[in-house]
Amino acid sequence: MKALIIVFSQTGNTRNVADRIYEGIRDSGAGCDMVSLPEAKDLDRYDLVGIGCPVFYYKEPFHVRTFLQELPAQQDKPWFVFCTHGSVMGITLESMARELANKGARVIGSHHTYADAWVPFYPHPTLTTGHPDQQELEEARAFGREIASIGEAVRQGDLSGIRPIPEVTVAWAREEADLLSRDFLGQVMPRLEIDPEACTQCQECQELCPAGGIDVLDSPPKIQDPCIYCWHCVNVCPECAVKADWNPLLQMAPANYERYAEALKGAEARGEFRWLVDPDSMDFANPFQKQREEGKKSIPERPQEVVSSKKQG
């Protein structure tokens, strides 16, 4: 059996989980390739395909959904889905599975992992700082072995091992996922600007924008055209030249964190989450973007090797 993992990762968390799933599939004796989202092609070559991403606004990022919607007919090809998330997964796995089912794919399993998050208007450390830890990465590797076994059984006509998508456990997250459409976010989220005095035109934000919505060489510089509201450009700019009025979102942070902490306590009670930080230690007066501007913090560097280096031929 030959498998393919398609991964969208910005800070490296989803990539780390994908690496372990890849290793688990290889442990099973199956072949496996791994590519980034823009490199995904020739899916007919594979017996099993997986796709993973971080959770944005309680669902898969908008460009990931577009990718799924534009897939050719899958004719019962086995797929699996996985994601990383900061506190509440929402409808992400359910939504990706639904889009794949609409294309005729057979979704045979799923996996999700808690992960650190770097949001300009939220404090850092955050509620899930330290995740995924070694235990969670080993769980991802075990999932890789399991999904390879299920995939091989499905190839042989045995559908008994197919795993259902987990139910959404936080009711308000479903409502929020429906509300926070791309059009709605475009109306309520702060507008970004590139400070021409601070920008060195290094083009890092432009190269890493998953929506292709930035051109720092344009006059005036183009940004958020289009946008998936990931704020990655804000986080990666070495000069902190991408500016916005974060005050409305800063004011909402404490109330949002109350909901996130309550959801995580529920996950802890179900045995799905372990606290690695004190939830009462959040410093809302010191959001991540303020720390960046003071030169105190940056997001982790992306791995030097590109995702496609995991191709095995």
**Average pLDDT, integer, range 27-55:** 96
> What is the token pair recorded at 285?
């007066």
pLDDT (tens digit per residue) in 66-108: 999 999 999 999 999 999 999 999 999 999 999 999 999 999 9
- Give the model's pLDDT for residue 313: 42
Residues recorded for the chain: 313
Q: What is the C-alpha to C-alpha distance for residues 175 and 15, in angstroms, rounded to an integer?
A: 28
- 207 membership: H or E segment, kind and range: helix 204-208
Say if residues 172 and 259 touch (Cβ distance below 8 Å).
yes
| pLDDT grade for 311, boundaries at 50, 70 and 90 | low
pLDDT (tens digit per residue) in 51-68: 999 999 999 999 999 999
| Residue written as token pair 């398609």 | 6
Exposure string of 197-218, with b = 16+ CB inside 10 Å and e = fewer, is eebeeeebbbebbbbebbbbee
Collapse the DSSP code of 96 into the 3-class scheme (helix H, G, I; strand E, B; otherwise coil) and give the result.
helix
pLDDT (tens digit per residue) in 255-295: 999 999 999 999 999 999 999 999 999 999 999 999 999 98
Secondary structure letter of residue 280 according to DSSP: G
**Does 306 score more than 60 pLDDT?**
no
**Does 303 score more than 80 pLDDT?**
no
Q: Please write down the HEC assignment for all residues of 243-278.
A: ECCCHHHHHHHHHHHHHHHHHHHHHHHCCCCCCCCC
pLDDT (tens digit per residue) in 227-240: 999 999 999 999 99
Collapse the DSSP code of 102 into the 3-class scheme (helix H, G, I; strand E, B; otherwise coil) and give the result.
helix
- The pTM score is 0.95
- 112 membership: H or E segment, kind and range: strand 106-114
Q: What is the C-alpha to C-alpha distance for residues 227 and 210, in angstroms, rounded to an integer?
A: 8
- Give the model's pLDDT for residue 299: 81
Domains in the chain: ranges and CATH: 2-170 (3.40.50.360)
Q: What is the C-alpha to C-alpha distance for residues 231 and 192, in angstroms, rounded to an integer?
A: 9
| pLDDT grade for 298, boundaries at 50, 70 and 90 | confident
| pLDDT grade for 308, boundaries at 50, 70 and 90 | very low
- 142 membership: H or E segment, kind and range: helix 134-155
- Give the model's pLDDT for residue 310: 58
pLDDT (tens digit per residue) in 177-226: 999 999 999 999 999 999 999 999 999 999 999 999 999 999 999 999 99
How many CA atoms, within 13 angstroms, populate the side-chain half-sphere of residue 169?
Answer: 16
Say if residues 297 and 125 touch (Cβ distance below 8 Å).
no
Query: Where are the extended beta strands (E) located within 163-266?
Result: 193-194, 242-243
Rg (CA), the chain: 20
- Give the model's pLDDT for residue 11: 93
What would you measure as the largest C-alpha separation in the chain, in angstroms? 63
Say if residues 100 and 130 touch (Cβ distance below 8 Å).
no
Beta 242-243 vs 193-194: how paired, if at all? antiparallel
Phi, psi of 246 (to 5 degrees): -85, -5
